[in-house]
Structure 1
Amino acid sequence: MTNQVQTLKEHLRATIWSRCLSAAQMARVEADTFEQFVPKGGFVFRKGEPVESWTGIIEGLVKMNNFSAAGKSVTFTGVPTGAWFGEGSLLKDDHRKYDVIALRDSRVAQMPRATFEWLLETSLPFTRFLLMQLNERLGQFIGLVETDRMLNVDTRVARCLAAMFNNHLYPGVDKTVQISQEEIGYLSGASRQRANQALQLLEKEGLLRLDYGGIRVLDVEGLRQFEA
């Protein structure tokens, strides 16, 4: 993920979807969208809350999380810098089906529902972007179900890292991912120690390099295809 610190305005203008907006549309987006700071471990949203905004990560990392009836924590996916999410819940006008929790101190952009719906009504290119976003999201979650059923930690860690390299969903990610082994563990459903073992295996396979404070991905397609 990029280390460059962006202002909210810079973040909005760097998004894929903003490129298709008119000057007037962009002006309203910049006027209406606001920034929220969420400390590590804090809730961006709680399950059951009404959905009132479309959300982007200016800086940081959050996870979509839920708990089973037995109390087991289940992480659906991580959302890194540059990503936007929540469009499906807005379109359904539904309550949150999951918690969104910051894995590190995070700066979050919130576009109010009214602005989001106005863009849908006034910008055909924005609507097309959202169709692509929903299609990519569907593919991502189908892949997550497949990976989870493999029940192999090494494979889950590989696919977890590979999933971050989706240019549409996560345009803010570069080849050096600023993510800790603890965070990888959260996102792949493994302990920190077990995630570390998996990363060392993937490093031996030549798919990544463990650097101080992050992971240098050497072969994204290799991670996608990896099976232990």
Structure 2
Amino acid sequence: MRCTMAQEKISLNAVLRQTIWAKQLTTEQMARVEADTVEQCVPKGGYICRKGEQVDAWIGVIDGLVKMNNLSPEGKSVTFTGVTAGGWFGEGTLLKQETRKYDVVALRDSRIARMPAKTFMWLLDTSLPFNKFLLMQLNERLGQFIGMVEFDRLLDVDARVARCLAALFNTHLYPGTNTLLQISQEEIGFLSGASRQRANQALQVLERAGLLKVDYGGIQILDLDGLRRFSN
């Protein structure tokens, strides 16, 4: 897929320099990251990576929205999380040197950065700040997944949608998120495990509660703490 003009406005190197983990790299380290990292444009519905493949890169979302999910033998889809612009993922699988345990699919046309595994491991060996970043990343991801198991089992759909939206405001995992979420009701349904129609009903409930406002093409978050606490 060819990137659109909107996607081409910011160069890959400029995006890399703006990441949290790059801010304390040395000039030499940053030069290698820029030389080795490549970009890929994936259309809506396309696979960024597939379950069972050998992991060869650490992956970042420059622009767009992706989901990590699996299909059961019966064909039921289970979504683990969504990753918005500014988020990076796959470090756990790289560290364990395993095959990938999940699919990653673009929910909209997305621009993706791929840092080769060798470069990733070299940063681990040469950069203490990068190691500290990854410790935080893994800790935040673990907390996110524990929370998802909890609200998937204990909360109704309205509360699941509220927590799903709130989870996109983790400043470490998704530093590029602002209070106007450019996300569709269909995408919210994918991320929260609900149909588009049921996600729409949940958004109406949350809007009446004064937690958000549904606008054309996006959702304005009015009370983030309220979303995090919301429960029926």
**TM-score using structure 1 length:** 0.97
Deviation at 1:6, TM superposition (A): 2.5
Kindly indicate whether the alpha-carbon contact (under 8 Å) linking 2:181 and 2:219 is maintained by their aligned counterparts in 1: yes
Q: Is the 8 A contact 1:181 1:196 kept in 2?
A: yes
* Counterpart in the other structure of 2:187: 183
Q: Which runs of 5+ in 1 are unaligned?
A: none
CA distance in 2, matches of 1:197, 1:131: 38
* Residue matched to 2:82: 78
Equivalent residue runs for 1:46-195 within 5 Å? 46-195=50-199
Contact kept? 2:71, 2:78, Cα under 8 Å: yes
> Which one-letter code corresponds to 2:221 in the other structure?
V
Bigger shift: residues 210-219 or 4-13: 4-13
Deviation at 1:71?
1.5
- Structure 2 distance, partners of 1:150, 1:62, is 25
Matched, 1:213 2:221: no
Displacement of 1:110: 0.1
CA distance in 1, matches of 2:18, 2:96: 27
| Deviation readout 1:82-139 (Å, 9 max, x if unpaired) | 1000000000000010000000000000000000000000000100100000000000
Cα deviation, residue 7, structure 1: 1.9
Return the offset for 1:69. 2.6
Q: Distance in 1 between matches of 2:27 and 2:177?
A: 27
Equivalent position SS for 1:6? coil
Deviations along 1:166-202, one digit per CA (max 9) or x if unpaired, are: 0000001001000000000000011111100100110
Contact 1:11-1:58 within 8 A present in 2 as well: yes
Say whether the 8 Å CA contact 1:38–1:108 is kept in structure 2: yes
Determine the C-alpha separation between the residues in 1 that align with 2:133 and 2:222. Answer: 29
Distance across 2 between alignment mates of 1:215 and 1:8: 28
CA contact (8 A) 1:18 1:26 kept: yes
1:147-178 CA deviation, whole Å, 9 max, x = no partner?
11025100110000000000000001001000
**8 Å CA contact 1:177, 1:217 repeated in 2:** yes
Which runs of no fewer than 5 residues in structure 2 stay unpaired?
1-5
Conserved? CA contact 1:6–1:58, under 8 Å? no
